[in-house]
Amino acid sequence: MTKYLLILIFLIQSLIFASGKDSTLFVAFYNLENLFDTEDDPTTDDSEFLSDSQKGWNQERLERKMYNIARVFRSMNDGKAPDVIGICEVEHEFLLDSMNNQFLRDKKYKSVSPNSPDGRGIQTGIMFKSDKFKLLEVFADTVKLKGRSRTRLILGTALLFNNTDTIYFFVNHWPSRRGGQEESEINRITAANALRTRIENIFYKSPNAKIIIMGDLNDEPNNISILEHLKAKPFLCEVESNEKLSQVDDETDLFNLSYQQFSEGVGSYKYQDDWNMLDQIIVSRNLVVGNKIKYICNSFEVYKPDFIVTKSGKYQGAPFPTYAGNRYLGGYSDHYPVVAKFIVNMNKKLE
């Protein structure tokens, strides 16, 4: 009896241990729609988000917004929250730290968000689980636009995953379409070229590099900034296309995981009556044909749980934002987050 009891205990312990080993990597990107502090920064134009502004921004509303954002993250990945989160429209790194300390402490996130040259002071950032990743390197690339206008940095990090694999993550918030899509296109082409230059440098040193690009690109997957300058090809989850893909020799290819849903009319941001796939996740070839860490087909998703969706009125179905103009709504963001999942084969040797 004792022998069988010991065997049963061993089996239970083995199952518990096995379940503790993550077999997936869950990645998310979220445009936070103006996560500002309440203090006046004399070096940037943050007057819109002060207590005496028309928006009436204050500490209570800030904490409510951080709670809301954390709630979205907690709902992802079957309640485990993402392993890595790319972020844009945050004013300072310490706001991410504050959100993590107050509302996500158990997730053990660390955050990186270098100071931005953007005139409003909004930044790109990344959060990653410190029990799974070690920060190896940070890249902060300036996008030099014509006319000396300032825009957000392209944030890159090299993260060591599970002490075995280096994965490069790039977080983007490309220049807006203000002034018209065609008129402003050159600015996003400039951003795409800056990112592609960095990517080429990584591929030169490591042709099989694992690279994940995410962000609000303010262009769609079929625009020339992405197709021709970033050189991110459409990726469709079809057996035939994947078989052909495995025969491609160019390790420097990038593949846009967002393209399939985009081709089906899905979007992450609603402008007037049109859905736009502005928020995207793009990966290197190794992550779609490799055997150590590999994209799970059709796992890319515009993530919209019921509680972040506008329920009625003119904007029914759109993301539930923090403000409508200057009217406080107490919502989440004017963008939906996007997510993707990767299978991790712990038995494969390092590629």
Q: Is residue 13 part of a domain?
A: no
Give the amino acid at 4: Y
Q: Is residue 11 part of a domain?
A: no
Q: Is residue 17 part of a domain?
A: no
CATH number of the domain at 126, please: 3.60.10.10
Q: What is the pLDDT of residue 272?
A: 85
Cα dihedral 138, 96, 114, 29 sign: positive
Number of domains making up the chain: 1
Q: Is residue 215 part of a domain?
A: yes
Please check whether residue 262 is in contact with residue 301, taking contact to mean a CB–CB distance below 8 angstroms.
no
Q: What is the pLDDT of residue 18?
A: 43
Q: What is the pLDDT of residue 183?
A: 87
Average pLDDT across the chain, whole number: 90
Q: Which of 220, 238, 242 is nearest to 230 (CA)?
A: 220
Q: Among the residues of 143-249, which ranges form H helices?
A: 181-205, 224, 239-245
Domain encompassing residue 121: 22-344
Q: Is residue 285 part of a domain?
A: yes
Q: Is residue 333 part of a domain?
A: yes
Q: Is residue 47 part of a domain?
A: yes
Residues 6+ apart with CB under 8 A from 258: 221, 277, 279, 280, 281, 282, 300, 338
Q: What is the pLDDT of residue 248?
A: 57
Model confidence pLDDT, tens digit, residues 38-73: 999 888 888 999 988 999 999 999 999 999 999 999
pTM for the model: 0.91
pLDDT in tens, the chain (351 residues): 454 543 443 344 344 334 445 489 999 999 999 999 999 988 888 899 998 899 999 999 999 999 999 999 999 999 999 999 999 999 999 999 999 999 999 999 999 999 999 989 899 999 999 999 999 999 999 999 988 778 999 999 999 999 999 999 999 999 998 888 888 899 999 999 999 999 999 999 999 999 999 999 999 999 999 999 999 999 998 744 555 665 555 767 899 999 999 999 999 999 988 999 999 999 999 999 988 999 999 999 999 999 999 999 889 999 999 999 999 999 999 999 999 999 998 765 544
Q: Is residue 5 part of a domain?
A: no
Q: What is the pLDDT of residue 290?
A: 87
Q: Cβ–Cβ contacts within 10 Å for residue 348, how many? A: 14
> Distance between alpha carbon 301 and the CA centroid of its chain, in Å?
12
Q: What is the pLDDT of residue 180?
A: 86
